[in-house]
Amino acid sequence: MKKIISILVIALAFSIHSNAQDKMMKDTKATVISLEQTKGEFTQKEITLEAGAYVFEIENNNVGHQVGFVLAPKSNPDAHIKTAYVTKAVDNNSKETSNITNLEKGEYVYFCPMNPTPQYTLIVN
């Protein structure tokens, strides 16, 4: 009986957390930025945005294996912005999205370490 109650409490807590996260996603207005990867490169070489909330949608256009997405400040490309990671590696000929990522004014780089691609520039005004 104690085990069943523990399982129910865990399930309820997970449900409450998921519902709160879903509500937060709906309440936050985020613009979707679609980016396409082909073998060894992104087709978009530079992006300029206004400060705000964004979701990155990454398309794997026949790369032949999974791809990912990294966004980091240009001044420190090793300081990855983890919310910008795709929530799942992007399979060949499919799309995946990141979590909501709030960007402030500045210069960033984006790239794929799995493809691999060069580092491209993303400017936030």
- Report the CATH number that the domain containing residue 78 is assigned in CATH: 2.60.40.420
* Domain presence at residue 20: no
pLDDT tens, position by position, 82-123: 999 999 999 999 999 999 999 999 999 999 999 999 999 999
* Domain presence at residue 24: no
**Predicted pLDDT at 2:** 53
Using CA atoms, how far residue 17 sits from 10, 44, 77, 96, in Å, is 11, 36, 32, 22
pLDDT band with cut points at 50, 70 and 90 for residue 17: very low
* Domain presence at residue 86: yes
Domain that holds residue 79: 30-124
The domain total for the chain is 1
**Predicted pLDDT at 28:** 67
* Domain presence at residue 15: no
* Domain presence at residue 5: no
pLDDT band with cut points at 50, 70 and 90 for residue 27: low
* Domain presence at residue 47: yes
Identify the CA nearest to 69 among candidates 50, 95, 46: 95
* Domain presence at residue 14: no
pLDDT tens, position by position, 46-76: 999 999 999 999 999 999 999 999 999 999 9
Q: The whole model's pTM is what?
A: 0.78
The per-residue DSSP string of 101-112 comes to EEE-SEEEEEE-
* Domain presence at residue 64: yes
